[in-house]
Structure 1
Amino acid sequence: MNRYKIEAPVRSFTGESVGVRFTKGTGYVDDSTKDGRAALEYFRRHHYGVALADEQTEEERAQELVTGTPTQRGPAATPADLFDPSKHSVDEVLAHLDTADLDEATRVLDAEAAATKPRVGITSKREDILAAKGGTGQ
């Protein structure tokens, strides 16, 4: 499961969009459910800022203070364990995506899209790759 920080185009937005709660233009969603993955695809299509979240939300920090129990997010792979598309050719990335599950394909495609110079040979195939893996493909 990956958690994503979503930045709304309107930075003052507080409310709900596609089932995700936003406060002052920022919301969080994870890709562990079909609804979460669909929301991520919606946000990407509508030019929201989408980035992997590596920090706690305000709600998680508050919960830790109230309960005294750290928020559990499940085991996370270390960066060294993850396939890094920037260290591979387009053909190698596409070969990896052919064998990857939906979560891994989404993660790799997100990493490629977030690169300083995303490669069109990969990013242009996003919809087809995700659709083939059972994602929304949009």
Structure 2
Amino acid sequence: MLTRTLPLVLAAALAASVSGCARGTAPGSLSYYVATPAAKVETRCGGGYQVFQRPGEPTILVAAYGVSEVAQTLCEQRRGIVPVRAHTGVRHEEAAVEYIATMPHLKGCTVVSGIEHTRLHSEFVLACPGVATNVVSVKG
């Protein structure tokens, strides 16, 4: 029985793998950030995260480790800690804020908005001082 189902399982795994590649590298997807180095971030309850930022872009992707996500949730419940989602209301905002605090090139930056793509990864938009966006000047 195992020899009959093994080729089917392998074929299904290959099809799932290929279909994931076919979606491309849309912003917000893990594959969009895969070529960037990951920074490891720990939060107050020991939650472990990887944070990705593409050079020159004002967005970061926060990816939680599944086991530490469960451990952090249990820790927060036990200690009566309310998760930090004060600004955006998006899961993993605490890790985004911690990442900003640890990166010298992001000094003074704040989290402007975010979107939860899955329970284990969210993307945040940052606003940094001295970085003008969509500025229009008119000479008259």
| TM-score clears 0.5 | no
Which structure's residues are more often helix, by fraction? 1
Which structure's residues are more often strand, by fraction? 2
The two structures have a TM-score, normalised by structure 2, of 0.24
The two structures have a TM-score, normalised by structure 1, of 0.24
